[in-house]
Amino acid sequence: MASVTYQDAERLFPGADSPAVDNLNLEIGDGEFMVLVGPSGCGKSTSLRMLAGLEEVTNGKIFIGDRDITNLPPKDRDIAMVFQNYALYPHMSVADNMAFSLKMAKVDKDERNKRVAEAAKLLDLEAYLERKPKALSGGQRQRVAMGRAIVRHPQVFCMDEPLSNLDAKLRVSTRTQIAALQSRLGITTVYVTHDQVEAMTMGDRVAVMKDGILQQVDTPLNLYDSPKNLFVAGFIGSPAMNLIQAKPAEGAAKIGEYTVPVDRTASSKMQDEITVGVRPESWRLVNEEDGGLPVKVTVVEELGADAFVYGTSGVEGTPSDIIVRIDARRNHKKGETIYVTTDPDHVHVFATQSGERLSQ
């Protein structure tokens, strides 16, 4: 059983006013791929390092299965760590790098060679086993770091932004390989990234953190469709959700002269200040006489099948940019004014002060 449980876990650094990780309660299932995501300084890497034994847990407990590992040294936790900078030994060959932890654990030579050969085959590294790290590309080095973790047959993989040093194209292909590999091995994995696209495409579930506090844990699709608060709504999704200040008006939300329809759950809870959220793809283009929200086009990003229109509405309470996803063949130009509307099912309503979600 290799589930991971954070129980009221806290990390307070000496001299700090507030904990880097505050009262973290999180359960990660056996064999699950859990992604911790959030902006820089949110506590995601610290949470991972607490699990790995590289940071002290100042309060609370951490379990792997039924075993309390809170105060165990890293070597006794049965965890393999994959770092951002690969952390390979430059003077050793690929095979020796992968086998090093087994050698330190006094695993016999035949077993070491067998495990390295298995991992090399899995990661397509068989042709590189005699090379030194300097003779490898960034993606190959990352696969060697993965191989070094795999040969140990750990209960848990801990991955700290392992793709951040790769170029954009390689990052996309490598994240697919890591997700497929984890699924095949079935090893519980805790993966840290600041890239929410990476989080959405890789994780079975995603935990969103801010200022050391866990905001929401859910499947990628549920996070996207039902963000729990304003922070999650603005963080998850690329491009980001449009978040617009509005006022309640007889079961709807009023943005200047434009009325946004909202669902019944939200309309019954709305009070003074509300924020309306609309995903770029949830806007519909309408004619001017249909009374849509006016958006003056400032930039059009052509993406092939789709395009993103960035514009300003000139309506009080709207953000500097409103983003609308359209069919690229619509061919809207800079300086043009388009009109958009949406449906109640696609509108997210939040209390501006607390950030709490009001929609169903």
Which structural domains are found in the chain, ordered by start?
4-230 (3.40.50.300), 239-351 (2.40.50.140)
Q: Which helix (H) or strand (E) holds 250?
A: none
Asked whether the beta carbons of 58 and 19 are under 8 A apart, the reply is yes
Reading the block at residue 138, the tokens are 């960034």
| Whether residue 318 has pLDDT greater than 80 | no
- Is the four-CA dihedral 157, 159, 165, 166 of positive or negative sign? positive
* Backbone φ/ψ region at 193: left (φ over 0), alpha (ψ -120 to 50), beta: beta
pLDDT tens by residue, 221-258: 999 999 999 999 999 998 999 999 888 888 788 887 88
Q: Please return the burial class of 302, using the count of CB atoms within 10 Å of its CB with bins 0-12, 13-18 and 19+.
A: exposed
More confident residue, 249 or 71: 71
Q: What is the mean pLDDT of residues 143-167?
A: 90
What average pLDDT does the chain have? Answer: 91
Residue 320 neighbours by CB under 8 Å, 6+ apart: 312
Instruction: Dump pLDDT digits (tens) for 188-213.
Output: 999 999 998 999 999 999 999 999 99
pLDDT over threshold 90, residue 155: yes
Radius of gyration of the chain (CA): 24
Compare 164 and 235 and report the one with higher pLDDT.
235
Asked if pLDDT for residue 94 goes beyond 90, the answer is yes
SS3 call for 342: coil
Looking at residue 76, its pLDDT comes to 92
Specify the pLDDT at position 331: 78
Q: Is 86 exposed, middle or buried (0-12, 13-18, 19+ CB in 10 A)?
A: buried
- DSSP state string for 24-86: EEEEE-TT-EEEEE-STTSSHHHHHHHHHTSS---EEEEEETTEE-TTS-GGGS-EEEE-TT-
pLDDT score of 293: 87
At 281 the pLDDT is: 94
Q: Which residues partner with 156 through β-bridges?
A: 79, 188
Residues whose CB is less than 8 angstroms from the CB of residue 53 and which lie 6 or more positions away in sequence, other chains included: 69, 72, 73, 74, 77, 79
Confidence of residue 59 (pLDDT cuts 50, 70, 90): very high
User: Which phi and psi angles does 9 have, rounded to 5°?
Assistant: -75, 135
| CA separation for the pair 111, 117 (Å, rounded) | 10
What number is the average pLDDT over the span 74-78?
A: 92
pLDDT at 159: 92
pLDDT at 317: 62
Give the model's pLDDT for residue 33. 96
For 139-147, what is the mean pLDDT?
89
| In the predicted structure, residue 1 carries a pLDDT above the cut 70 | no
Question: Across residues 150-168, what is the average pLDDT?
Answer: 89
Binned at pLDDT 50, 70 and 90, residue 97 comes out as: very high
The pLDDT of 337-356, averaged and rounded, is 90
pLDDT-derived band of residue 8, with 50, 70 and 90 as boundaries?
A: very high
The whole model's pTM is what? 0.90
Distance, CA of 36 to CA of 158 (rounded, Å): 11
Which runs of consecutive H residues, i.e. helices, occur in the chain? Answer: 44-52, 94-104, 109-122, 138-150, 168-185, 196-202, 220-225, 230-235, 264-269
**What proportion of the chain, given as a percentage, has pLDDT over 90?**
61
For residues 9 and 29, what is the distance between their CA atoms, to the nearest angstrom?
17
